[in-house]
Structure 1
């Protein structure tokens, strides 16, 4: 499956979180998926109320299918494209929330890797 047909900001953020969670240690822990689901649910509830038919399960499933369908190189390219989109279209508050969520995600599996810190720093650079 490719990119979701009705791409929303929740899909974009979910992809970024999936990339972050798997890129740094080459695995996606169940604890990380729980945090991603919680953060996307918050994203839907707080900032996307204007879209009536968003469903957390659909967004997570579609984003995961999109993510898994891409090569490693295409995942990285998509990550950079999505970060550029957020830089232009998200408020400073929303961008700061994404960075804070990445920190929570980094700690969710009980191991805060140097690679995770480096990717958080790179994400902050890309968003500013």
Structure 2
């Protein structure tokens, strides 16, 4: 059973216990829930006969496509930077979490950019070292 199915089963148990005559407080105690939560699901069942979560509105986007591109570009140009620094440099009026979310959406994280930068730097150092050793011999 997935999480949603477990929640619906628990809510069904709330309804069954209530219909069996148990008090809200007792049901809450038995299931480790608050009385408010138990009362909410009983009320929702009585009103609609539904135990599923209500639909939620999707989060509204606070950055434009142009700003998203600027965030990606800033991270690519300076791979050892942080979301805090990117937000400050671009003077964005969004949260640091939003900057991180935009990077994640683009398949980028500060860690992966830092690893890529380290690998590129290592390869460049190796190239210089290898060239130096060839010249020395």
Rg comparison, structure with higher value: 2
Q: Which bracket does the TM-score occupy, shorter chain normalised? A: under 0.3
Choose between structure 1 and 2 for higher RCO, CA contacts under 8 A separated by at least 6 residues.
1
Q: How high is the TM-score relative to the length of structure 2?
A: 0.26
